[in-house]
Structure formats: structure tokens, C-alpha cells
């Protein structure tokens, strides 16, 4: 139990160093954005009840929320973002502040949930990728660099809604 916690702490420490600038950076004015990106789909009726997204269609103008909690488990960041025409969201966490506290690192403290779908026939929440509890973030080393700008880009989801009415399966 204790060693598991130590392992988690150590691995998060490594990630922390990978993804955060050091405090003694030579360019203190450099702006660093935290971004979460992902897709929102309408699950195909045929796969209802599973986590399968095969044949799923992206949902434009769907809303998702990014929720981050501090070490006291209080919500420290909450914002709703809308998907673009391709069902893709790029959630730039303006004003997200990171303390030196490891548990407040986005990988540990932030989650993404589906909020609402504009499609009348596909607006039920699903737990695909733990959307109902909050889908965790992943980091695969994706960053954007500008001259005085840097963005650390996390991925989450994909999230999905499902139709409220699916025709019964037809067996021919």
C-alpha cells in the first residue's frame, strides 16, 4: 500500500519534471498554456452498452467540461468548451495555475466530462472512457512552441453521447 503510493508519487514527480518548466527558467515571461484536446462522438446504436466507438460520428458544437481539483479535493478549475465542426475540442485552460503541489498537476487533478449534445437524437451521456466520472488526461509529449509561448497539450477521451432510441436489432 505504502510502496504503491510511493511509486505513484515518484512517477508523477517524473512527469512533473517532464511537463513543467523549472522555476529558474532563463525566460521568466514565457507564457505556458495548459491545453486538453479530444473528440466527442455519437455512438452508433449497434454498439450501445459497450465502449465501442466504431461507426461513431463526431458531434460538432457539443459541450464538454474540464474540471480540476486541488489537493483538498475542492474544484479549483471548471470551464465548458465546445467542439468545432469536426467534433474536436481544444480546451485552453486560461488561468489554470499550477502550484508546486504534485497532486495539483493536470494529469492528476483534471478530468473531462461530456456536458451536452446539440443533437436531439443523440444526447444521452455515456461513461465511455469514464466520461461520467471524469475522463483522465494523457500526456504523450505533445507541445507547441512559439517564440515566447509554449503549450503543453494533453489528450482526453474520446467522449461520447448515445441515441436515446435505438431500433431493436434485426435478425434476418
Ligand X SMILES: *[C@@H]1O[C@H](CO)[C@@H](O)[C@H](O)[C@H]1NC(C)=O
Give how many residues touch ligand X by CB under 6 A: 7
Single out the residue of 12, 48, 52, 63 in contact with ligand X (rule: CB under 6 A).
Answer: 63
Of 92 and 116, which CB lies nearer to ligand X in the complex structure?
A: 116
Q: How far is the CB of 149 from ligand X (least distance, A)?
A: 26
Within 80-119, the residues that bind ligand X by CB under 6 A are 80, 82, 116-118
Of 48 and 65, which CB lies nearer to ligand X in the complex structure?
A: 65
Of 61 and 166, which CB lies nearer to ligand X in the complex structure?
A: 61
Cα–Cα distance for residue pair 121/162, rounded to 1 Å: 8
Distance of CA 104 to the CA centre of its chain: 15
Tell me if 150 contacts ligand X by CB under 6 A: no
Q: How far is the CB of 167 from ligand X (least distance, A)?
A: 25
Tell me which long-range contacts 143-150 makes (C-beta under 8 A, separation of at least 24).
148/27, 148/29, 148/30, 148/31, 149/30, 149/31, 149/33, 150/21, 150/30, 150/31, 150/32, 150/33
For ligand X, the binding residues (CB under 6 A) are: 61, 63, 80, 82, 116-118
Amino acid at each position: 500500500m505504502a510502496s504503491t503510493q510511493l511509486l505513484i508519487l515518484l512517477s508523477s514527480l517524473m512527469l512533473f519534471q517532464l511537463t513543467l518548466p523549472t522555476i529558474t527558467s532563463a525566460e521568466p515571461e514565457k507564457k505556458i498554456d495548459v491545453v486538453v484536446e479530444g473528440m466527442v462522438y455519437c455512438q452508433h446504436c449497434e454498439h450501445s452498452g459497450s465502449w465501442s466507438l466504431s461507426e461513431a460520428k463526431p458531434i460538432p458544437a457539443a459541450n464538454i467540461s474540464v474540471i480540476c481539483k486541488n489537493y483538498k479535493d475542492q474544484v479549483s478549475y471548471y470551464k465548458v468548451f465546445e467542439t468545432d465542426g469536426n467534433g474536436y475540442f481544444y480546451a485552453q485552460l486560461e488561468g489554470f495555475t499550477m502550484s508546486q503541489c504534485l497532486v495539483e498537476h493536470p494529469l492528476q487533478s483534471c478530468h473531462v466530462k461530456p456536458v451536452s449534445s446539440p443533437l436531439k437524437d443523440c444526447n444521452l451521456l455515456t461513461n465511455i472512457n469514464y466520461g461520467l466520472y471524469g475522463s483522465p488526461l494523457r500526456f504523450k509529449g505533445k507541445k507547441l512552441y512559439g517564440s515566447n509561448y509554449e503549450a503543453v497539450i494533453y489528450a482526453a477521451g474520446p467522449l461520447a453521447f448515445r441515441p436515446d432510441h435505438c431500433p431493436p436489432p434485426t435478425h434476418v
